Structure 1
Amino acid sequence: MSDPNPTRSDREDTRTFLQKLAEFIHPGPDSTDELIDWLGDAERSQIIGADSRKMLEGVIRMADMTAGDVMVPSTRMELINISDPYDVMMHGVIDTAHSRFPVFDGERENIIGILLAKDLLKLQRAPELNIRALLRPAVFVPESKGLNDLLRDFQSNHNHLAIVIDEFGRVAGLITIEDVLEQIVGEIEDEFDIADDEGDIFGLPDRSYRVSGDTLIERVENAFGVTLSSSDPDDEFETIGGLIAHEMGHVPKRGEHFVLSGLDFVVLHTKGGAVKWFKVSPVPVNAS
């Protein structure tokens, strides 16, 4: 009696002679680079579209990446001090406009939890609440954590942020699910990103302004009643982000200040080496 479930080797090879010959002459890719080259060929042959090719390349490259490769370094982390008054916390949340913040107690290395911006608003209605009771557990991952594994953890645990730890157990940075997904789909619009037709200069509660880095210099001049020019008269810039970066002399980093024409520009958010948003306020007349 024949085996009703033949092994794979016993099954009939249904490939045609030409298919076998083609596979012998053109074997499958032996490396990641070859596989990516295949995707390029598939796009040129119109088997897949450009967007599909980019996403598939991102998935392939991500397999070799770790949390340490894409994390926000600890020096650029926006943290909340559990000992700060409510008003200080709220101003920090408004200025950075993130949705989640690591919270520390005493030293910045001592992360005790994650605070959601929406939870902080609960204190307005119930000031008697203990802010510690609002904290969510912090998730810690090593720098060597693979992005594939981390994405699965984010999905299964419903976490959107993890604290990255170095080999000595110190805080090395943080990583979000957005950071991971951007390796596949490219940049994702976040809390700071708005449509071009929705404006580029916004008033903030503390009487300062949030200004997009790609705002035309002429528009900033008209809005604040100042004249902005480069220290080098031969240089011409169209956007405020380009002008400030040139005057600073380096790629701006979050939290850096630069004063120009009586305006204090604070870098709020950067992407790809360019400033996405500034916080702008007039420098007090009596400031030294």
Structure 2
Amino acid sequence: MKIGDIKFGDSKKNILIEKIIEEMKEGGKILSAYEENMILNIIKLSNISVRDIMVPRVDLHSIDIKASIEEVVAMIQEKGVSRIPVFDEEYDNVIGILHAKDLMKYVFNKEQFLINEILREPYFVPEIKPINDLLVEFRENKIHLSIVVDEYGGISGIVCLEDIIERIVGDIKDEFDKEGSNIIQIDEKSYLVNGRINIDDLNEAIGTDFEEDDIDTVGGLIYMILGRIPKQNEVVRYQNYIFTIAAISGRKIKLVRIEKEIDSVQVTK
């Protein structure tokens, strides 16, 4: 089951999801702890507003439209951000979003840099919007970030797609924190693991034999197999195991579900 399998924004369906879970169990459908936990977290989204999960104004990194490319690059490197709100004179006057990747064409042509030529249109949302509704809008408009405004039209903060996804998988990540473990066993043949776990430690813990030259972590192994950044819920096959990307933020693979696939020895690239 994937996050995309659930229809967000439909309050009537959300009300019935708990009942559906029980009916699925009664009908013989086996839900893993991971799947059930994810569905229950989705239900909670309708009771959470953008205000509850946004990055507040005091922690927001934005830049003036008059900034030089050196200033923009410095902010990206120092703050570790890939999308930056751009304002014109006044902080509350956000006129666009700058994506770090759009700077590439100016690497060797800095003198031609004009920030307003690569700005993307900002997407504004009110503080009180339920995040399940916002998730629908993110998916429909293919955007990952929105500017949050208060009742007076001032900037309150920003909210990213990653913030919502973390709400869905948050309880699972809390288990890692509480137990001090990088591995959670879901059932007899599947595990949820931290993307940064050392491959040798994983092999020892679950009896696998994953090994590639110069690869130390599960996340690194997935990058090696695909040759690119994976997508949320993407499935990768390696040896006789299925790897599902359960949570990713930017380039960081945070959670991976590993499930044994007895009849398969295929490696998907």
TM-score range, shorter chain: 0.5 to 0.7
- 3-state DSSP class of the match of 2:166? helix
Aligned to 1:151: 135
Aligned to 1:8: none
- 3-state DSSP class of the match of 1:120? helix
Matched to 2:145, the amino acid is L
Question: CA offset at residue 49 of structure 1?
Answer: 1.4
Aligned to 2:165: 181
Aligned to 2:53: 70
Alignment partners' CA distance in 1, 2:96 and 2:72: 15
Matched to 2:130, the amino acid is G
Aligned to 1:101: 84
Task: Confirm or deny: 8 A CA contact 2:48 2:130 kept in the other structure.
Answer: yes
Alignment partners' CA distance in 2, 1:132 and 1:98: 19
Aligned to 2:67: 84
Aligned length: 161
Question: CA offset at residue 197 of structure 1?
Answer: 5.0
Q: Deviations over 1:201-254 (max 9, x none)?
A: xxxxxxxxxxxxxxxxxxxxxxxxxxxxxxxxxxxxxxxxxxxxxxxxxxxxxx
Question: CA offset at residue 150 of structure 1?
Answer: 0.7
Residue 170, structure 1, aligned to residue 154, structure 2? yes
Alignment partners' CA distance in 1, 2:197 and 2:154: 40
TM-score normalised by L of structure 1: 0.50
Question: CA offset at residue 145 of structure 1?
Answer: 1.1
Unaligned 5+ segments in structure 1 are: 1-30, 188-192, 199-288
Structure 1 residues 148 and 106: CA distance shift in structure 2, 3 A? same
Residue 58, structure 1, aligned to residue 45, structure 2? no
Question: CA offset at residue 112 of structure 1?
Answer: 1.0
- Off by >4 Å, runs of 4+ in structure 1: none
Q: Which of these residues, 139, 145, 148, is aligned with residue 161 of structure 1?
A: 145
Matched to 2:196, the amino acid is A
Alignment partners' CA distance in 2, 1:90 and 1:166: 30
Question: CA offset at residue 48 of structure 1?
Answer: 2.1
Aligned to 1:125: 108
If each structure's helix is expressed as a fraction of its own residues, which one has the higher value? 2
Alignment partners' CA distance in 1, 2:57 and 2:197: 31
Alignment partners' CA distance in 2, 1:131 and 1:124: 13
Task: Compare CA radii of gyration and give the structure with the larger one.
Answer: 1
If each structure's strand is expressed as a fraction of its own residues, which one has the higher value? 2
Aligned to 1:111: 94
TM-score normalised by L of structure 2: 0.53
Task: Confirm or deny: 8 A CA contact 2:69 2:113 kept in the other structure.
Answer: no
Task: Confirm or deny: 8 A CA contact 2:87 2:95 kept in the other structure.
Answer: yes
Alignment partners' CA distance in 2, 1:47 and 1:194: 26
Question: CA offset at residue 35 of structure 1?
Answer: 4.2
What value does the CA root-mean-square deviation take over the aligned residues? 3.1
Matched to 2:59, the amino acid is R
Alignment partners' CA distance in 1, 2:91 and 2:59: 12
Alignment partners' CA distance in 2, 1:128 and 1:35: 56
Q: Deviations over 1:120-158 (max 9, x none)?
A: 232223331421111000000001111121111111111
Q: How does 1:181-200 map to 2 (within 5 A)?
A: 181-186=165-170, 195=196, 197=198
Question: CA offset at residue 55 of structure 1?
Answer: 0.2
